[in-house]
Amino acid sequence: MSKPVSLTDAHRVAFIFLYFASETDQKLASEEMIVISDKIENCINESLKKVDNLNLWNIITESLNWFNALSLNDKQITFYQLMDFLKVNFSDNQKSRILEDLKVLAKSDGIFLEAEKALIDKSAELLN
């Protein structure tokens, strides 16, 4: 499956979280998926109330299918494109929340890797 037809900010954020969770240790832990689901649910509830037809599980499934359909190189390219989109279209508060959510995600599997810290730092650089 390719990019979701009705791409929302929730899809974009989900993709970024999926990339972050799997890029740093080449696996996606169940604890990480729980955190991603919680954070996307918060994104839907707080930022996207104006869109009535958003469903958490549809967004997670569509984003995961989109993510899994890409090559490693295309995942990285898409991550950078999405970070650029967030840089331009998200408020400073929203960007700060994304960075804080990445920290929570990094710690969710009980292991805070140096690669995760480096990707959080790179994400902060990309968003500013």
Mean pLDDT of 30-45: 81
The CA angle 113-18-14, to the nearest 5 degrees, is 130
The stretches of the chain forming alpha helices (DSSP H) are 9-23, 30-47, 56-69, 72-89, 92-107, 114-127
Mean pLDDT of 57-83: 94
pLDDT at 26 over 60: yes
* CATH number of the domain encompassing residue 46: 1.10.3680.10
Is there a domain that residue 3 lies in? no
Mean pLDDT of 119-125: 96
Is there a domain that residue 120 lies in? yes
C-alpha 5/C-alpha 113 separation (Å) is 34
- Domain around 47: 9-127
Is there a domain that residue 4 lies in? no
Banded pLDDT at 12 (limits 50, 70, 90): very high
Give the total number of structural domains in the chain.
1
C-alpha 43/C-alpha 25 separation (Å) is 25
pLDDT at site 46: 60
pLDDT at site 39: 83
pLDDT at 19 over 70: yes
pTM of the model: 0.88
Is there a domain that residue 1 lies in? no
pLDDT at site 34: 86
The CA angle 83-89-95, to the nearest 5 degrees, is 60
C-alpha 15/C-alpha 65 separation (Å) is 10
